[in-house]
Amino acid sequence: MARTKPTPETVDEAQVASPQKAAARRGSDARAVEPQADAPQDKSAGKTDASVPGPAETDVPPPPIGRAPEIVRQYELVELVRAYDPNLDEDLLNKAYVYAYKAHGNQMRASGDPYFTHPVSVAAILADLKLDPVTIATALLHDVVEDTDVSVEEIRKLFGDEVAMLVDGVTKISTKEMPADVDGAAENFAKFILATCKDVRVLLVKLADRLHNMRTLHHVPKPEKRRRKALETMEIYAPLARIIGIEKFREELEDLSFYYLRPDDYAAITKGLERVSSKSVSDVIALSQTLRTEIEKAGIDAEIYSREKRAFSVWRKMQRKKQLFEELADIYAFRVIVPNEEDCYRVLGVIHRNYRMIPGEFDDYISTPKPNNYRSIHTAVLLSKDKKAQKAEIQIRSKDMHEAAERGIAAHWKYKDRSQRSSGSVELSGSEHYNDYEWLRRTVSSVEAGGNVAELLQTAKLEFYRDQIFCFTPRGRVIGLPSGAVAIDFAYALHTEIGDSYTGAKVNGILRPNRHQLKNGDVVEILRSKDAPIPPGWETFAATGSAKLRLRRRVKELAAKDQHALGTRIIRSAFELHDVPYSPDAVREAAKRMGFRGLKPLMEAVGRLEVADTDVLDQVYPNLRAGQKASRKAIEPGKELRPGAVSIEGLRRGAGLSFCEACRPLPGERIVGVKGDDGRAVVHRIDCQVLADQDEKDWTDLAWRNDPDAAYVVEVVVTVTNRTGAIGHIGSLLAKYDADIHDLNVENREVQFSDLRVEIEVRDARHLANVMTALRGSDFVVSAERSEGLK
């Protein structure tokens, strides 16, 4: 297909600066300079200007925050980047700008603006973070593969491998909002993490992309679509911005999402902030002036800024502290920026000499940085001596710390001299200290290892908004963890291999239980072993998603081995009990007929008690048990049995017998007989409590004979939760395991639990053991025990 040529070096500035005029001025007049590369095909090609829709009508006004700035012209974007990277590849930016402009052609946004205004705005947002030219070019091109006929190979040919790799990474992250179904959301999250961890610049472009889309979300006409987009932003994008330290992205994304998710709360808090602002303006001005004067007296050069807390930050604090807006005190925040670290502590002394410090509100993130490398001193003071004085939070940081706080991981990009690098090449310094960036690495390892991405998404959401604690390794490395974390979380945060070999931990030099919750400032030493066990339930008290997922995976792997061995023993025992030969090949064929891929999955299912041994037996020997149940003799304890009714060795010929009602013995258990006053023998288990009162001289050793036609009545006590269908479920489970119900009574019914006293028919002790294991594995069952003693 023949393609037209794009404008190579410049774009008509009037078209970009005036979006509404641009839609009317498309055409060959824009191609004034000799072309440089093939233009991409526009997926909207064929539409006339008359068919381009105007701005969408919505029922929501634009948010009072995050207004989209004016479009940045081509030369302005180049100058923005040149200001922090004098050696930039200007040709790369110019070519990407023009190529994207032509690629998007007549495509329009819901606002009625040309689509090209979006990638240009994304590029400008990233230029504000002082990112490298390759990332800026990626921002300009980030939608051309998704929304036009351009391929990644074309991008590689025109702009090089690095740009193509980044554009491909952004493209692979689904551009659709979070699906309504959890599986779809989890799949998108997994794609996001996998693409991001290959190069963090993919995440930076995607965050800027989402930020501009949220700034213009009021143009989207469907309320439900706006809500889904805002929810995904709040749950995924804003926390990821925090993780990589870009606080201004996080704050704006949170507030914009809050505006759409809880509009009434947003409006109420905004009005409250305006009301407090009008009342406290004099106190704020006084504090600013006093701080400036006192700091100047100390000979410190400082910049002082004041600002109100953001709406979402206030709302979250109200929820956490369960307070009304009027009960909050720290509405205002001040920021003092000084030349160096030493001056930070000097300013702290000035503040505490002049204002009353509020106990418990001091944090030194300079000596102990947050895991995302955030460094600052936080304190809080009262603005006056009045009992109802307004509280103010003050942050003190150096200029370098401020840049790192504003730009996050982007502040760690180093630009090599152009003569020593390929176009746009960068390197990341200090990333070894980015423990929260390691969270991304740990998460991608979980995804690649086949972890449950739905669980991963849910645990990630919990971690994102849970308060954090900061602990240390014995060598002083800081590890950030969610509140409630334990030592196993700490171990997996260090490295997967350390977590896998964890056997215990010393906290501040003292050996602590595995359930011990860590606190801020704890020094944690992990104890390790190559053959570390995994006690059951560890994942229940782990707090981090990475630890939970890894523990569950290890438990599953070890359980599969145990289940296979158990299943094999159960099947072999079933064949021995019915006196038929066991053939692995025959069982393998039976497994395929039952829907399993082979012998191993079947044995594991039997070991998990999902498949009964009799089901396998019936598949291999279909006629073996036909009519068995109809002719099965149910032997009840306490009742006298006719001679020969039970195959037991050791009794004299013609002797009558009965089974003890207390212990109810079963084939497979050691038994003895005791002659009663009526002359018949009573059969007991060797551990029966009734035997304690009998003279051993009166005992007669007995032994079972194999009798596949016999069934023995035993009693079990099953405690179940009072949920609909519980008793029916127990009945179905017993039927599945070939244990007929002889009698059932409900006792000790409470609000949440009930005791079921059930008499069941089983073949032998092994059969009962399988039934009990199945009962204990049911979600309805709290406990299941064999009844001991007389009723």
pLDDT value, residue 726: 81
Which alpha helices (H) appear in 298-338, and where do they start and end? Answer: 311-321
Tell me the per-residue pLDDT of 100-130, one tens digit each, with 9 for 90 and over. 999 998 898 888 889 999 999 999 999 998 9
For residues 67 and 219, what is the distance between their CA atoms, to the nearest angstrom? 12
Largest CA distance in the chain: 119
Residues in the chain: 791
Paired strand residues for 332: 308, 392
Alpha carbons within 13 angstroms on the beta-carbon side of residue 99 total 26
Domains annotated for the chain, with CATH where assigned, are 9-172 (1.10.3210.10), 173-244+434-464 (no CATH), 265-409 (3.30.460.10), 554-626 (no CATH), 630-704 (no CATH), 710-786 (3.30.70.260)
Torsional sign, CA 685, 687, 689, 695: positive
pLDDT (average), residues 478-499: 86
For residues 98 and 123, what is the distance between their CA atoms, to the nearest angstrom? 13
Q: Which helix (H) or strand (E) holds 195?
A: helix 182-198
Active-site residue 341, yes or no? no
Active-site residue 177, yes or no? no
Q: How confident is the model at residue 340 (pLDDT cuts 50, 70, 90)?
A: very high
User: Any idea which residue has 């001056």 for tokens?
Assistant: 343
pLDDT value, residue 62: 74
Helix axis angle for 247-261 and 223-232, nearest 10°, is: 150
- Per-residue DSSP letters for 508-561? TTEEE-TTPBP-TT-BEEEEE-TT----TTHHHH--SHHHHHHHHHHHHHHHHH
- pLDDT higher than 50, residue 722: yes
User: Any idea which residue has 């980044």 for tokens?
Assistant: 166
Count of CB atoms situated within 10 Å of the CB of 170: 24
pLDDT (average), residues 483-510: 88
Q: Which residues contact 316 (CB under 8 A, 6 or more apart)?
A: none
Tell me the per-residue pLDDT of 672-716, one tens digit each, with 9 for 90 and over. 888 776 667 888 888 888 887 778 777 888 888 767 677 888 999
pLDDT (average), residues 779-788: 85
pLDDT value, residue 50: 33
For residues 771 and 768, what is the distance between their CA atoms, to the nearest angstrom? 5
Buried b (16+ CB within 10 A) or exposed e, 756-772: bbbbbbbbbbbbbebbb
Tell me the per-residue pLDDT of 727-774, one tens digit each, with 9 for 90 and over. 878 888 888 888 888 888 888 766 677 888 999 998 888 889 888 888
Buried b (16+ CB within 10 A) or exposed e, 548-586: bbbbbbbbeeebbeebbebbbebbebbbebbeeeeeeee
Question: Any idea which of 159-168, 557-566, 736-745, 763-772 has the lowest mean pLDDT?
Answer: 557-566
Q: How confident is the model at residue 655 (pLDDT cuts 50, 70, 90)?
A: low
For residues 268 and 771, what is the distance between their CA atoms, to the nearest angstrom? 60
Q: Which amino acid is at 520?
A: N
pLDDT value, residue 700: 82
For residues 727 and 756, what is the distance between their CA atoms, to the nearest angstrom? 8
Q: Which residues contact 575 (CB under 8 A, 6 or more apart)?
A: 581, 582, 617
Question: Any idea which of 78-82, 481-485, 497-501 has the lowest mean pLDDT?
Answer: 481-485
The proportion of the chain whose per-residue pLDDT surpasses 70, expressed as a percent, equals 72
pLDDT value, residue 739: 87
Catalytic residue among 42, 132, 143, 147: 147
Q: Reduce the DSSP state of residue 758 to 3 states and report it.
A: strand
Q: Which amino acid is at 478?
A: V
Q: Reduce the DSSP state of residue 161 to 3 states and report it.
A: helix
Could you tell me the CA-to-CA distances from 24 to 8, 105, 284, 357 in Å, in that order?
A: 21, 12, 51, 62
Q: What are phi and psi of 657, to 5 degrees?
A: -155, 165
For residues 202 and 197, what is the distance between their CA atoms, to the nearest angstrom? 8
For residues 94 and 97, what is the distance between their CA atoms, to the nearest angstrom? 5
Sheet holding 502-507, edge to edge: 510-512, 502-507, 524-528
Q: Which residues contact 126 (CB under 8 A, 6 or more apart)?
A: 135, 136, 139, 204, 205, 208
pLDDT value, residue 135: 93
Paired strand residues for 507: 510, 524
Q: Which residues contact 411 (CB under 8 A, 6 or more apart)?
A: 130, 245, 403, 404
CB 357 within 8 A of CB 302: no
Tell me the per-residue pLDDT of 371-426, one tens digit each, with 9 for 90 and over. 667 889 999 888 766 666 677 889 999 999 998 888 877 765 544 433 344 433 34
Count of CB atoms situated within 10 Å of the CB of 62: 15
CB 158 within 8 A of CB 94: no
Catalytic residue among 12, 38, 128, 146: 146
Could you tell me the CA-to-CA distances from 366 to 218, 351, 493 in Å, in that order?
A: 40, 17, 22
pTM of the model: 0.55
Torsional sign, CA 154, 159, 165, 166: negative
Q: How confident is the model at residue 277 (pLDDT cuts 50, 70, 90)?
A: confident
Count of CB atoms situated within 10 Å of the CB of 338: 23
For residues 652 and 650, what is the distance between their CA atoms, to the nearest angstrom? 7
Q: How confident is the model at residue 618 (pLDDT cuts 50, 70, 90)?
A: confident
pLDDT value, residue 738: 82
pLDDT value, residue 704: 80
pLDDT (average), residues 55-78: 72
Could you tell me the CA-to-CA distances from 155 to 25, 137, 174, 199, 485 in Å, in that order?
A: 27, 11, 19, 18, 45
pLDDT value, residue 1: 35
Tell me the per-residue pLDDT of 179-220, one tens digit each, with 9 for 90 and over. 444 455 555 565 666 666 567 788 899 999 999 999 999 999
Torsion angle defined by CA atoms of residues 210, 211, 217 and 218, in that order, rounded to the nearest 10 degrees? 180
CB 40 within 8 A of CB 11: no
Query: Which of 19-33, 323-337, 488-502 shows the highest mean pLDDT?
Result: 488-502
